[in-house]
Structure formats: C-alpha cells, structure tokens
A and B are shown apart, each in its own frame.
Chain A
C-alpha cells in the first residue's frame, strides 16, 4: 500500500439513482466509506434521481413498513471521513421540487457550467 500513498487522485462518485428502489445508492456509499481510507481527493455528485438519496426524514423502519436498512444518516457522517465535497445538480433538485432545506446534509449546489467544470477535473469517475 506504500506506493499508493504517493499518488493522490481526484475521485468522483456520481449518484444518479434513488435510494431503496435499487441497491446502487447503498452500495455506492459503501465504496465511498472504504475509499476514504485511501486518502484520495474525493467528491460526490448527486444528479437526477440521485438527489433523492439526500432527502430528509427517511423512515424505513419495520413500523413504518419498508423494513429496509436506513443508510441516510451515513451521508451526515461523511465529514468525519474527510469526505466533504458533496455537489448537487441545481436543475435536478429544482425539477424535483426540492430545495436545500429538504436535504439532510450540507451540500454545494452547482449549475451546469460548474458541474461540468468539476467533472472535467476528475481522474477517476465511479458511476452507480
């Protein structure tokens, strides 16, 4: 692992799928958490239905009915892993009738030009 430590790449995780309907959001988050140990320059982008991953007040308890694992709190824990660059596509958020107040974590809202610029700076793009 020693030689890895010398290389710092820009990793972008692109999240475009809603949570619970499929496993992608949860398993993407698992990669982010493991990846945090590698000390790379990490960013997360939430685009299209991926924005729904950050919706406040997710309740998946057995009492509520879904009976699935609620992983939404993990987004708030990312900061402790030094994963602090969370970007949300403005148009995707607007189209879904959401605002920053609906989101469970602090994010930076990017317009198309800024999002495109951020993507262009990445070395490794992992899409889920």
Chain B
C-alpha cells in the first residue's frame, strides 16, 4: 500500500496520522507541501527517521526543488523520486491512500 502526504507537518497532522496508521512495509510518498516532512533539521526529523525502520519513505524531487531545496537537504534514508517514480510507486502498490 502507498500513502501520499501533501501537507506540511507544521500545518496539519496528515503526516503524523499517516505514520501512526501505516502498516509496516507500506510506502509513503511526500509531495507538494508534504516535502517539508522529508527535510533534515526540522522538529519532525526524528519522527520521520524512526518511521524509516518500518516504512520506505519517498519524496518528490520536483516539489523539493520548487521550494528551494534538493536531494542534499533530505533526511538520510528518504529516497527521492520524479513523477515517473511516483507513477511506478502507484503501479507497484495494490492501493493508494491520500492523506489530504
């Protein structure tokens, strides 16, 4: 199962609830304002780092770059994908749940 999160963790609890209710082995994609959850040095870094032991976490690189960041700003273990990679994630998982 793929979870998508498009909200900044500072604005909404979408990421927090997603990680709380995601099963081990589920994939999580951060995009739009959700990319702020993938960035090093925020107060959410420990939460996201811990989640990496249960879930694969991806971040959409074009949304990172749009917001003045790049791969170097991303928490270790979080993988970057482009839109083609986003499509692959959807295809590779049986269902997709958007945490709006």
Residues of A within 8 A of B (CB): 12, 14, 16, 47-48, 89, 91-92, 112, 115-117, 119-120, 122-125, 127-128
Contacts and interface: CB of A to CB of B under 8 A. Distances in A.
Contacts of B13: 48
Interface of B: 1, 13-14, 17, 20-23, 26, 94-100
Contact of A124 (B1, B21, B95, B100): B95
B23 A116 contact: yes
Main secondary structure of the interface of A (DSSP, over half): mixed
23 contacts: A12-B97, A14-B97, A16-B14, A47-B17, A48-B17, A89-B21, A92-B17, A116-B21, A116-B22, A117-B23, A119-B1, A119-B21, A119-B97, A120-B23, A122-B97, A123-B94, A123-B95, A125-B95, A125-B96, A125-B97, A127-B98, A127-B99, A128-B100
Contacts of A14: 97
Contacts of B17: 16, 47-48, 92
A89 B99 CA distance: 15
Contacts of B97: 12, 14, 119, 122, 125, 127
A122 to B, nearest CB: 6
A47 B1 CA distance: 18
A76 to B, nearest CB: 26
